[in-house]
Structure 1
Amino acid sequence: MNPSHRSGHVAVIGRPNVGKSTLTNALVGAKVSIVSSRPQTTRHRLLGIATFPEGQLLLVDTPGLHRDQGSSTATAMHRWMNRAARGALEGVDAAMLVVRAGKWEESDTFAYEALRHAGVPVVLVVNQVDRLKDKTELLPYLAMVSEGREFAGVHPVSALKRKGLEALVKQLLGLMPEQAAMYPEDEITDKSQRFLAGELVREQLMRQLGEELPYATTVEIERFIVDGPLLRIGAVIWVERDGQKAIVIGKGGERLREIGTRARIQMEQLFAAKVFLETWVRVREGWSDDESALRAFGYHD
């Protein structure tokens, strides 16, 4: 083993919709975590494996932290996502607190406090700096968010445009223990193709129906068959009411076909294979607030 080679786990933490998954994908160099403009798109704790000549970063992408954990009004789904986000801090070597450039909200403070008590170095990643209209606002903002808070480093980046990532990677690797890589360099995630297929269908649901059905849908892969060079995949989209089923299907089935087509294209790019995808929509009332239903759909602690 190269004595200077470093490898370790990095939790990616922040409030919803600050670009945690986009950052994870950019560092890995491939799409392992789905992305949409809707908060809480990420529901599962997911490992993105970013391999560099100097070392390997195991990025633990998480749902966004929010304050309604344990609240009587929080659904089982929201409680699950908070558990997944907090569980990401167990056994990591460092953490990234991802915030949106120019904004610091109460939820950011909540996320910082969770990290402060985790006892690991925290690197502040100020994402979406490309969206700042007035670039002179950046330095005062960085000074403001750093005051009274302890960070191992502060990195303004644009995950979408892959700007500022080189310095971030260098510092993160410096925080990792000296040890061999934990995964082969050609692996990019610990999740199966079956899991990723379901996520890619759900990504299209969030992108096209997020405002209408923000949390009412989930996806179950009923069939995943390798047939020579072809992947035959059957996906069930679960909703909570008949009216939601009609929204997902759309007039004459047009919306469901569009969701399936876009998801299939993403699968073919990720899996480097031809995909035959079938989709169905079924109703299970109240699944998002039913612990047993969540377990059946793959939401395991």
Structure 2
Amino acid sequence: MIDTRSAFIAIVGKPNVGKSSLLNALTGHKIAIVTNRPQTTRTRITGVLTKGQTQFVFIDTPGLLKAKNKLGEKMVKTVKDSVADVDAAVLVVEPTGEVNKAELDLIEGFRSRKLPAILAVNKIDLVEPKEKLIERIAKFTHLYDFSAVVPISALQEDGVDILLQEMEQFSMESVHFFPDDAVTDQPERVLAGEMLREKILLNMRDEIPHGTAVSIERFQERGDILHIDATIFCERDSHKGMIIGKGGNMLKKIASEARRELEDFFQIQVNLQCWVKVKENWRNREGVMRSLGFE
């Protein structure tokens, strides 16, 4: 008889509802980058939490949106594939507003698979009066028989422990698929690239970040210093100039912020070198996307 349990849980929702913040709160580590821009998460990121005999494996997915290029198509496919092979899902929604098409599509996916799902109403710290929260919950529970409804604030980690308790019902007897001290399946160089991309997203104007990608060319620890060489790809020469900035100031700012976070995460001094290169229309070029890790 197996004395351990596991549960695979997909975290889904429209863009900017706080899925990555929730993943970080659940695992207790920043393994997914967080900004207020759509398409921050582009790939399927796995977070792992082992509590006692139960191992939770969380699948953080891109926000479901209308694809405008081949990269967008891959992101939509990632969401649908992630929901297809899990034990349950957590639908993360905002505390006010109408149910939109992306959320309706996700609920239809639950229904077609008869997938158990929890409704996590995020950002409850931002809603007043609380009657609006009740109205919002009613709109979703009318559409699907959720296993539980949990109001949360992922950023303040309010209600996250209750959400985790509700997820326990989906665990089953199983071996643990990851070491008990694991927090993610992401390679270290991928985490480094995402940390750098987060700083680009936070510092640049709207039209530039979506057309950027980061490739880590070197990730090597020598002595007590971690040497990281990174190439930032963008789609236009004009974007390259803006990322570099006047006298290189913008690139220096991005790299400096990324280096501080890398040092905090890896607990070692980091020597980060960044270059910017142009790859026109890379989000529609299969070969380029594969080389950047978008399988």
Q: Using the alignment, how far apart are the partners of 1:174 and 1:6 within structure 2?
A: 11
Spell out, residue by residue over 1:157-201, the C-alpha distance to the aligned partner (whole angstroms, 9 max, x if none): 000000011111011122111224322222110011111000011
Distance 1:236 1:43 in 2: 18
What's the TM-score, normalizing by structure 2? 0.95
Within a 5 Å distance, the mapping from 1:90-129 to structure 2 comes to: 90-103=84-97, 104-129=99-124
Alignment match, 1:83: 77
Instruction: Find the aligned partners of 1:82 and 1:141 in 2 and give their Cα distance.
Output: 25
Contact 1:6 1:173 in 2 (8 A): no
Equivalent residue, structure 2, for 1:71:
none
SS at match of 2:173: coil
2:172 match = 177
Deviation at 1:210, TM superposition (A): 4.7
Deviation at 1:213, TM superposition (A): 0.9
Q: Is the 8 A contact 1:234 1:277 kept in 2?
A: yes
Corresponding residue for residue 41 of structure 1: 40
Aligned equivalents of 2:223, 2:57: Cα separation in 1: 32
Map of 2:246 onto structure 1:
251
Name the residue aligned to 2:265: 270
Structure 1 length-normalised TM: 0.94
When the two structures are aligned, how many residues end up with a matched partner? 294
Instruction: Tell me which of 152, 161, 166 is aligned to 2:156.
Output: 161
Give yes or no for the alignment of 1:132 onto 2:133: no
Q: Is the 8 A contact 1:6 1:174 kept in 2?
A: no
Instruction: Look up the SS of the partner of 2:230 in the other structure.
Output: strand
Residue type matched to 2:192 in 1? A
How large is the RMSD of aligned CA atoms in angstroms? 1.5
1:54 deviation in Å?
Answer: 4.8
Q: Return closer, same or farther for 1:210/1:153 CA change in 2, 3 Å cut-off.
A: farther
How many percent of aligned residue pairs carry the same amino acid? Answer: 37
CA shift, 1:65, in A, is: 1.0
**Match of 1:53, as an amino acid?**
G
**Alignment check: 8 A CA contact 1:94 1:176 kept:** no
Pairs within 5 Å for 1:2-21? 3=3, 5-21=4-20
Q: Shift in Å at residue 108 of structure 1?
A: 1.5
Structure 1 stretch 74-83 or stretch 138-147: which is displaced more? Answer: 138-147
Match of 2:197 in 1: 202
Moved segments of 4+, more than 6 Å: none
Pick from 136, 139, 147 the counterpart of residue 152 of structure 1: 147
Partner deviation per Cα, 1:37-64 (whole Å, 9 max, x = no partner): 0011000101001222251210001111
Q: Is the 8 A contact 2:153 2:159 kept in 1?
A: yes
Larger mean CA deviation between 198-207 and 118-127 belongs to 118-127
Q: Which amino acid aligns with 1:275?
A: V
Q: CA deviation at 1:226?
A: 1.2
Distance in 2 (alpha carbons) for counterparts of 1:82 and 1:121: 21
Aligned residue number for residue 187 of structure 1: 182
Residue aligning to 2:232:
237
Q: Secondary structure at the match of 1:158?
A: coil
For the residue of structure 2 that corresponds to 1:15, the secondary structure is: coil
- Equivalent residue of 1:166, what SS? helix
Corresponding letter in the other structure for 2:89: A
Distance 1:11 1:131, change over 3 A: same
SS in 2 for 1:88: helix
Q: Deviations over 1:72-108 (max 9, x none)?
A: xx20110111111111123211111111111232221
- Cα deviation for residue 119 of structure 1 reads 3.0
In 2, the alpha carbon distance for the partners of 1:148 and 1:187 equals 36
Residues 13 and 98, structure 1, Cα contact 8 Å, conserved in 2: yes
Q: Counterparts of 2:100 and 2:144 in 1: how far apart (Å)?
A: 15
Distance 2:273 2:19 in 1: 30
Aligned to 1:141: 136
Counterpart among 287, 291, 294 of residue 292 in structure 1: 287
SS of 1:111's equivalent in the other structure is helix
SS at match of 2:11: strand
Q: Distance in 1 between matches of 2:28 and 2:143?
A: 34
Distance across 1 between alignment mates of 2:134 and 2:76: 32
Q: Does structure 1 conserve the Cα–Cα contact (< 8 Å) formed by 2:95 and 2:132?
A: no
Structure 2: segments with no counterpart, 5+ residues: none
